[in-house]
Amino acid sequence: MSERHYLDAHLHLQDERLRPREGEIVAELRRLGIRRWVVNGTREADWPEVARLARDYPEVLPAYGLHPWFIRDRSDQWEETLAALLADPEAGAVAVGEIGLDKWMRDHHIEEQERVFRRQLRLAAGAGLPPVIHCLQAWGRLRDVLREEPLPDAGFLLHSFAGPIELLDDFLELGARFSFSGYFLHERKAEVVETFRQIPRDRILVETDAPDMVLPEALVTHRLEDEEGKTINHPANLVSVYEGLARALDRNPAELVREVEGNFGRLFG
């Protein structure tokens, strides 16, 4: 399988749970032919680490954004700092992410989330970069915001998409791309697979969201635990995500790899 070119549309290699194993993780990704990894920042504190990874590893495509879980930790200068990163050729941004809306979290303060999200969407449009969007339990509100804000020509990514199928056409019309994570291969997530059956082939990407979104145990090829012994997702499980999605969609795995490569290139350049 090493001759195939696998692409991870969304992960967090800068996460402190992966950092102690960084060297061996990178070596294994290279061995498997996983040739591009979109590493998403989530807060101001990890943006420099994302930039460092992009300098150290040519496979890393960096994205910088303020995740809704961390907006209350932002500094007064967060927007200026993010704008400067997006404009800096050495920072190499390919996207603005991970950003979004989340009503699943406790004390979510959705109005404040939306203000920050809108400002980041405008930065993305100004920079001509696709937003990488997280959403939980706020799909209708997300659609409405996206209708009101400028969006780049390349479109945007709804990462680990598990939104209602009733809104699929609305998101497609707005220019959405949708990435599938291995967590959706659990039997209890069958409705997500059904949604992906309805998504046009030229809009699908594949991700791990490592170290999160752990696959079903039977599909895990690379096992990893954090310092507390809790199972986390190894980025090299991406190959299993591709294979699992191909089976779920009744698709030829090699054909899916080729199609995702084209979709990835159109979104991230």
Query: What are 194-214's pLDDT values in tens digits?
Result: 999 999 999 999 999 999 999
Where do the structural domains in the chain lie, given as residue ranges? 6-268
Confidence of residue 3 (pLDDT cuts 50, 70, 90): low
Note the pLDDT tens digit of each residue in 44-91. Answer: 999 999 999 999 999 999 999 999 999 999 999 999 999 999 999 999
- Residue 249 predicted with pLDDT over 60: yes
Q: Where on the phi/psi map is residue 69: left (φ > 0), alpha (ψ -120 to 50), or beta?
A: alpha
Note the pLDDT tens digit of each residue in 77-129. Answer: 999 999 999 999 999 999 999 999 999 987 879 999 999 999 999 999 999 99
Residue 105: per-residue pLDDT: 82
Architecture of domain 6-268: Alpha-Beta Barrel (3.20)
